[in-house]
Amino acid sequence: MNHDQSLEQADLYALGALDGRELAEFEAHLATCAICTERLRETREALVTLPRSLPPVAPPPALRARIVERVAAEPRVTPAPARRRPERRRTRVIWWAGWAGLAAAAALLLVVNAQLRATRQELQALQGRVATLQTVLAQREEALRFLSDPNVRYVSLGGLKPTPEASAWLLWNPTSRQGLLLARGLPAAPPGKAYELWALAGSQPVPAGVFGVDERGRALFRLPQLPAGQTFDAFAVTLEPAGGVPQPTGPMHLLGKVL
Amino acid sequence: MGTVAPDVSVRLLGDIARGDRDAFARFYDLHAALVHTFALRVLREPAEAEEVVQDVFVQVWRQAETYSRDRGTPEAWLITMARSRGIDKLRSRRRRNQMVRPAENPDRLPEPIALESASGPAEARATLGGALTELPAAQRSVLELAYFDGLTQSEIAAKLGEPLGTVKTRMRSGLERLRGMLSGHSGAERA
């Protein structure tokens, strides 16, 4: 095989397209060939054009918080730089002074080390809190942005027979078909069950997401974007199997009309 | 998606290697969207794409010092990591699917998961734009099948019903053009 063929294989290898015997051959060749290594680098660089040409989709802020938190909990083991020690002859005096100094330094090191560890733990805890706060802040900002849209309608949902004391506000934007549900007074759903929100177009219920409540019976739930082409005139909440169902089956807990 | 000046990222990677968490957060903010967009295109499944993003950035944290400038830009490094994880997941998913419902024709590869089944409308419409529209469709599709869908040259040939040689030629011409575009306007922003 001449070397041009290897370069061609480098391209297919960068794409992940080589297989079978060609793959084994090329990998063996690559291990010893600087030209093919460079070609592989160049091709990988060129290939980044592919994902860069896609419409960007930002990852959810919660993912950032999760990753930052994970990293905060993981101390980094930095390999210590190799230090060269000059070989030198020492006199006795310097030797003893050296030991005394070393003992003092070791004692100091212990103290500093303990303090350092405490500081690092504090720092990690703080970084975790900052990440959490950033997520909360991002959520609030999103809610604020949502609220400031003049198209948003306020739908009041009242508690029905199973939970007469429950109530909710649904902030509904019929233009963007997005919404935010703030509920209170709902009991925790029994195991295997969850609350499901429905958007009603006439008598036709459209599933609008499954949510749970916190220990105080409250929920803040962002609706998925609802399908276009329908005018929703009411919203309802029923108790359903935890994964949600396409059509309501359980008792209705909340109901409210879009006015 | 614009490119990020590699210098800044290289500097940040140096700081990350020294355990700087702020640098890590900045590095994440610079590159997370590209990695996520890529993983989502490969896997077409938001939860799995997020796993890939997490794996890649945790690896950045653990192995920042193994990055070397001679081996390419940080973006290429990230995408190489994301691709190997993404394609692994894709292949194990395909194996699972094949076990669940053995195809009538065992030589046929399972179709990629339908876009609409997993992701929202924004992702579903994700198609290559920008400079890539300059590539002839036949070249573009073999590049996409290999790079994003993780098919090897023989699998692509079988899927398209084309001779292996034709598939290879198309891939190489496509790559030739990509490289040409990069050197044509280096530091290329999407057109």
Task: Give the pLDDT confidence of B168-177 residue by residue, as tens digits.
Answer: 999 999 999 9
How many independent structural domains does chain A possess? 3
- Cβ contacts of B28 on chain A, cutoff 8 Å: 64, 67-68
Same domain, A133 and A217: no
Compute the nearest-CA separation of B101 from chain A (Å).
Answer: 24
Residue in B closest to A75 by C-alpha: B19
Q: Whole-angstrom Cα distance, residue A222 to residue B56?
A: 29
Tell me if residue A78 falls in helix, strand or coil: coil
CATH of the domain at A158: 2.60.40
Residue B76 to residue A11, Cβ atoms within 8 A: no
Q: Does any domain span residue A73?
A: no
Neighbours of A202 (CB within 10 A): 10
A228 touches B at CB < 8 Å? no
- Cβ contacts of A72 on chain B, cutoff 8 Å: 21
Q: Does any domain span residue A89?
A: no
- Cβ contacts of A44 on chain B, cutoff 8 Å: 72, 76, 79-80
Residue in B closest to A8 by C-alpha: B172
Domain that holds residue A120: 61-68+96-148
Same domain, A177 and A238: yes
A120 touches B at CB < 8 Å? no
Of the pLDDT bands very low, low, confident and very high (cuts 50, 70, 90), residue B182 is confident
Q: Which phi and psi (to 5°) does residue A155 adopt?
A: -110, 125
Q: Which CATH architecture has domain B1-109?
A: Orthogonal Bundle (1.10)
Same domain, A158 and A125: no
Burial class of residue A217 (count of CB atoms within 10 Å of its CB; 0-12, 13-18, 19+):
middle
Compute the nearest-CA separation of A51 from chain B (Å).
Answer: 5
Residue among A129, A48, A225, A115 at smallest CA distance from B82 = A48
Q: Give, in order, the Cα–Cα distances in Å from B7 to each of A5, B36, B72.
A: 34, 22, 12
Same domain, A135 and A181: no
Residue among A11, A47, A53, A46 at smallest CA distance from B132 = A53
Q: Does any domain span residue A211?
A: yes
Q: Are A223 and A210 in contact (CB under 8 A)?
A: no
Q: Return all residues near B115 (Cβ < 8 A) that are at least 6 apart.
A: B44, B123, B124, B126
Residue in A closest to B169 by C-alpha: A8
Residue B152 confidence (pLDDT): 94
Domain spanning B127-191: CATH 3.40.50.20: no
- Cβ contacts of A15 on chain B, cutoff 8 Å: 143, 146-147, 171, 175
Same domain, A111 and A189: no
Per-residue pLDDT for B1 more than 90?
no
Q: Does any domain span residue A36?
A: yes
Task: Give the pLDDT confidence of B108-132 residue by residue, as tens digits.
Answer: 444 444 333 333 333 333 455 666 7
Q: Whole-angstrom Cα distance, residue B138 to residue B102?
A: 30
Residue A17 confidence (pLDDT): 95
Single residue among A114, A129, A148 that ends a domain in this structure: A148
Q: Alpha carbon A36 to chain centroid distance?
A: 37
Tell me if residue A199 falls in helix, strand or coil: strand
Residue A72 to residue B21, Cβ atoms within 8 A: yes
Q: Does any domain span residue A80?
A: no
Residue A78 to residue B17, Cβ atoms within 8 A: yes
Using CB atoms, pick whichever of B24, B79, B156 lies closest to residue A48: B79
Residue A55 to residue B122, Cβ atoms within 8 A: yes
Q: What is the pTM of this model?
A: 0.54
Per-residue pLDDT for B17 more than 60?
yes
Residue B157 confidence (pLDDT): 95
A58 touches B at CB < 8 Å? yes
Residue A70 to residue B58, Cβ atoms within 8 A: yes
Per-residue pLDDT for A197 more than 50?
yes
Q: What is the mean pLDDT of chain B?
A: 81
Same domain, A141 and A157: no
Would you list the DSSP string of B116-169?
Answer: HHHS-HHHHT----GGGGGS-HHHHHHHHHHHTT---HHHHHHHHT--HHHHHH
Compute the nearest-CA separation of A66 from chain B (Å).
Answer: 8
Residue among B175, B153, B182, B150 at smallest CA distance from B166 = B153
Domain residue limits, chain B:
1-109, 127-191
Same domain, A122 and A38: no
Q: Does any domain span residue A21?
A: yes
Residue B19 to residue A75, Cβ atoms within 8 A: yes
* Bigger pLDDT: A92 vs B72: B72
Helix pair angle (A20-30, A3-15), 10° resolution: 110
- Cβ contacts of B155 on chain A, cutoff 8 Å: 19
Task: Give the pLDDT confidence of A13-31 residue by residue, as tens digits.
Answer: 999 999 989 999 999 899 8
Return the minimum-mean-pLDDT range out of A2-16, A120-134, B64-78: A120-134
Q: Return all residues near A207 (Cβ < 8 A) that are at least 6 apart.
A: A196, A197, A198, A244, A245, A246
A16 touches B at CB < 8 Å? yes
ipTM of the predicted assembly exceeds 0.90: no
Compute the nearest-CA separation of A191 from chain B (Å).
Answer: 24
Residue A53 to residue B76, Cβ atoms within 8 A: no
Task: Give the pLDDT confidence of A72-125 residue by residue, as tens digits.
Answer: 888 776 555 544 444 455 556 666 677 777 788 888 888 888 788 888 888 888
A116 touches B at CB < 8 Å? no
Size of interface A-B (CB pairs under 8 A): 171
Which residue in A7, A13, A63 has the most chain B C-beta atoms within 10 A of its own C-beta, making it the best mutation to test that interface? A63
Tokens standing for B13?
A: 């990677």
Q: Give, in order, the Cα–Cα distances in Å from B37 to each of A48, A60, B122.
A: 12, 12, 11
Same domain, A159 and A122: no
